[in-house]
Each structure stands twice: as structure tokens, then as C-alpha cells.
Structure 1
Amino acid sequence: MAVQPAGTPCWADAMFTDLEAAKRFYGDVLGWTFGETSSQYGGYTQAYADGKAVAAVVPTVPGREDRSQWCLYFASPDAAATTAKIRENGGEVLTEPMRVSDFGTMVIAREPSGAVFGVWQGDAHEGFEAVATPGAYCWAEVFTRAPEKADAFLSGVFPYRMKEMADGHVDFRLFDLGADPVLGRMRMGEEFPPEVPSHVNVYFTVDDCDAAVARAAEKGAVLRFGPMTSPFGRFAALTDPQGVVFSVIDVTFTEGETPDFEDA
């Protein structure tokens, strides 16, 4: 696997109060299987789709149960340098650059509008072994109540080119690396309860959105939005039984014309 450009989403993990329940839930909904739980790394457990590493789950740290959420990591060739940029652009470093054996170096940070994310300087573990296939990561969007802060921060830390939706009816931007969009940013409106903070919404690929939603609901998830068909696929937003937000998308089921974007 080639080294990915800085700012490329490259990994996702989440903390859960009940790790075994999380494994059962995501195994049923996304078809994941799991590797051995590593006591050396705090119970970190990799998830696999069709034999390829696609995410990880880990027990919550005592006293930090409120931090249960999917954390998206962005690739960096130099975690220390990216950490400096995070601070220079008004972000908060929650976990300083930390070497994880020979796997790589991680950083956890919060952008100025409140969304938590990770930085990963890969070594033996470079990141996702599959994307945009059933069970694997596909896409992510930063949902924020202060888009100006988020936009300035993200484009200051990573070499993104920003594009905004041309019709102006929706405050949504794409962040590109070269010709390929790698991340979206959506302004949170009144449809989001005030207690919902800015966050990164991670999308996992499924081969049938409606069937995945039905499986999730049967296992205790709450449907937040959708299923809805778009030019990018049929998707839905869910909250899992432990309160962790995520989305599912069937990228093969599309409808409508792709909206126009212009340089921001």
C-alpha cells in the first residue's frame, strides 16, 4: 500500500463501554469479523471486512465514557509537524504524538469548532486495507456549527483545495487533494438538537442500505436520517445502541444529477 498524501482519511476507530456488545452489533450490521483483543494496547481490536482491516474498536478509558464516538484519522508524513500546524491554526491537541510500537505515530486533536479527529503517521500499519467495499469506510463529513472556523482550520493544517456547492442553498463544502474529494463539511442547522456537538460523521459501505438499517434497528440502533437516495448513493444516519453516531451508504444505488461545485 502506497504512502497516502497528507490529509487523506486513513483509519477509523471508536471507544465503547461494552466492547463485546459493539463487536456483536457491527458484526451483524456491517459483516465485520474481529482479530484478537490486544491487552498490550488497552483492548484495541481490529475489525475486518472480507479479511481486510477496515476499522478498530477499543474499550473506553475509565472516566472518559462520554468520548464514545467514531474517530477518523488523517494521514500525515510527519505527526509532529502536523501537531504544530494544529496549534498554529487554533486547534487543541488532546493526545500528543505517541509512538505505537512499530505500527505508527498517532495524535488526537479537536478543531476549533469542536470536532475531534486523529492524525496517523503510518509505519507497519498504514491504514485501511480496503475502502468503498461492503463493510469498509467510504466517506466522512465534518458536521459543525461554526463552518468558517472549521474551513480555515482544515485548509490550514492539510493541503486541501475547497469547493462549495454552487447553488448556495446548502452550506456544504468538499475538500480535495488533487482531483479527488476526500472529505465533506456540512453546517449543522436547527434540525440538530443543541446538545449534539460538532463531530465527524463516518460512512461505512453496505450492499443494501435498507437491509443494513433494518438489521441495525433490530439490534437496538436509532435511525436519525434516511434512508435517502442521492447522486452519491443511498444512505442513512444511525446512532448505535451505545450512542455512537455513524452512517451507512450503498454507493451502487444512486439517483439524480451530481450537484455543481465551485472553488471556494
Structure 2
Amino acid sequence: MKILPVPCLSDNYAYVLVDETANVAAVIDPVESTKVLAAARETGMELAAVLTTHHHADHSGGNDGVAAAVPGIAVYGGDERIPAVTTKVKDGDKFALGSLDVRAIKTCGHTSGSICYYVEDRANDQRAVFTGDTLFVGGCGRLFEGSPAEMHDSLNVKLAALPDDTLVFAGHEYTSANLRFALSVDADNQALQTKAQRCAEARCTMPSTIAEEKDTNPFMRVTQPALQRAANATDPVEALRVIRQMKDRF
């Protein structure tokens, strides 16, 4: 499989997911439909699906345009508020995109209907997850419709359980600011220092991996002493709540 980031708006990413075996493609969060459709057409593949991570307009706002351009296209999402949705998915639902296996992971916290899409290319031993605004490189989404406990479950139970080599494709290029904050609460983390140096000059920091996020992302390190000291809390959920508030003010 191939995954093509498509920068949109000021700092969003849409993605084109390509299965070269079956000659099909999907688009993820195609907020600028004209731009994303052009990128999909350049692949020469049949556009078969839209995968929507959540209902916010900066992710789902291009769904109607894609659906109009590709009549009958399948539009997946976990929330009835998503425009043009044809298939509402719940946690654990599986479907195929050509030869690729896709699994929906419900990840509450940012919104009540957020879905991450875990994609496996078994033939080529590749795997990726599209995380929308749940998991960012070095960060997580604001808790608009969910609780710290829900975000903790989404990050540290569901996403952390994915294979370490799973590629992480997030919905925004927030990496620079996220890593600056991470260093403020986890300054002695050598893996984080190295990642911050590597990402400093990168125009696009996608993808990360699940392993890197577990090593560097403060919201996935809330059982670690450094983060618990920063939060003055030993309970991981409380530590996440405090650190998220600190990030909101950073």
C-alpha cells in the first residue's frame, strides 16, 4: 500500500490510501475535496471509499464534494453528524478496501464519535493507522466531547495495543508545538530530544509510529515517573487530565 499526505487548509492533512494490488484507493478526511480528488486521480486508481475520522468540518467538510464527484462512493464514519455518510461504523467493525483489511477503532475523547482506521496490507507486511484528532505526533486532541478517562482508554489501551511498527498518520501538522510542550514536561527523555531534533526542519512529520509515540508522547507516557511528577498525580487518568490542561495553556 501507498499513503500520500495531502496538506489542506492551514495545517490539516487529508490522505490518499492506495492499494496497488487491486487498483483502488480511498481518501481520508478530504476536507478540500477538489485538491484531494486531484491527488487521488493522479494515482490512476479507482476511488472506492471515504474514511472520515470525525464530524468536525475541517475533516469532513469535503465529503459532499467527493460524494458528488464519485456517485455511489462508500463514505465511512462513526457519527451521524458526518456529511454524506453511507456506512456508520462502530468499534471493531471490519471491511475491505481491495486487498487491504480495515478495522474501525472507536476512540472517544476529542469527539464522542471519533474513529481511527487501522489498515493492514498482509501481503506486504505493512500497517498504518489514521488517527484524525485523537492521536497527534507528540500530542492528542482537545477533550471537546469526552473525558480524560475516555482519552486515556483511546490512547493507552486501544491505540497502544497496535503493533509497534504501525505507521501513524494524524490529522494535523501540530508536531513542532506538541514536541515543545512535551519537552517542557519530559525534558530528560532522550528519545523525545532526538525526535524533536529530527522533526525540527521537516515540512511534513508524517508518519510517526506507535512505538515512537509510546516513547515520546506525554499523553501515552502517563504511567512514567517524569510525567506523574509534572502532573503531581500518580493516577494515569488524572495525570492525563492535568497534562492536557497544561497543554491547553501552553
| Interval of TM-score (by shorter of Structure 1 and Structure 2) | 0.3 to 0.5
**Hey, which of these two has a bigger chunk of strand by percent?**
1
**Hey, which of these two has a bigger chunk of helix by percent?**
2
| TM-score (ref. length: structure 2) | 0.34
Work out which structure has the larger RCO, using CA pairs closer than 8 Å and 6 or more positions apart in sequence.
Answer: 1
| TM-score (ref. length: structure 1) | 0.33
